[in-house]
Structure 1
């Protein structure tokens, strides 16, 4: 993964999807505590970066995150966005953000049972140690949203679901409680907004950072098809995997016989076929369209 050279910015690191830059000496942002975050078109699944990318995906993620940040800001929820004035090479997909001390945990909220939560529930009747009613199935609505944190793994490693008690040990009780309260509040606001747009927000992952005053700040991406499970409300039917507007579509293809890939092997995943790439792009665009009520030109 080779990050683009950008005038005024020095490349710091690259994750599975995002590239991060710091201001160069003498640049317009020199001396300010900011970073440039760029969302690429890369797509990852099962801890692998897949090939090819999804054209325009980074623009969709960035623009949808900005839309959500604006909606949540109106509810008093702070975020890390400083400016969308970025080098032309990354226009639409780059954002200047506050440099924060990132909380070393993924703040996951689930309103519906699926994915790794479903797997744990089938074994023990719990999700990250939270007991759930008997009789739930894939796609079932939970009695109330639950906070199910995970570790934040380095690239190539696996995030691991952990209990809230373990989170308190990792972060300290005060920060753990603040993280849970903030994540549940954001989920509640977003779930209501998504439902009004005909989308079920089944679950989502937030990342928070601490500013210089110790306040929790919503960071990274937020409520995108990469960080959330979005289901069309009109097609919701518990008891089976749900149609989705997110990258679960790619995961499903990878684990199907059509891909020929064994997830448990050491082999790299195969190239994504053109029809899977096109269908994934359209799902991401459809999520943007439904949520925002606007078209996005790539």
Structure 2
């Protein structure tokens, strides 16, 4: 009996070790970024489309202060409360000491420079689809923003969600750089898919999640419960949103619906960002959404 117990214990230890190795945080391939020339000017548009400031500016920041990415905003979910960290170029409190590879690993793989997992409240599952040049340009632009010495506040998560190592298993299930929609109708904008599925990470709010917090891609963009527990985020597929492409593009520019209502909640920040992008980008998003399956 003792021999069997020891053998079983040894087997469990080996399996645990294999599991930890398989699910360990992954860095990016340096070769993907080695020959790129980061362009800070181009990075400003990426920064705007990705909504970086919307989450990472200090609570109640206004105007130019929104470019001080001191962090501190809280986001309540069923898993606990997440708090956005300082991602200003401050060398100690922020990400100023990071390399481009560090930044790319964080943004597209959810891996810290120290080799830990980030929680997917940071939408790296969408950013995983970003083009390497856009990642490099974004990094260059963010290096030019104001520094903040504000200390990042910790998350408030209960067991077992407080165990970061478990996120390796989550990533195996839900982290992919594949496109969600691969059979767009002929003529649909690939730029729109890039904005919706990657940069603007629309699915993070408009798609329901399963018990593990992974997106239910079979119900892509059909609407979801609000993570804060208040109300529901609407669907934006043709079967759940009866708007024309012109209506969608206009809403993304102004925040006004065809029924003369206006955007509220976190969508206000999304509109603020999209209004700064070229009209062609808003039109591309509208074309992508109108080309989706019914999804009702």
Give TM-score, length-normalised by structure 1: 0.26
Structure having the higher helix fraction is 2
Give TM-score, length-normalised by structure 2: 0.26
Larger-Rg structure: 2
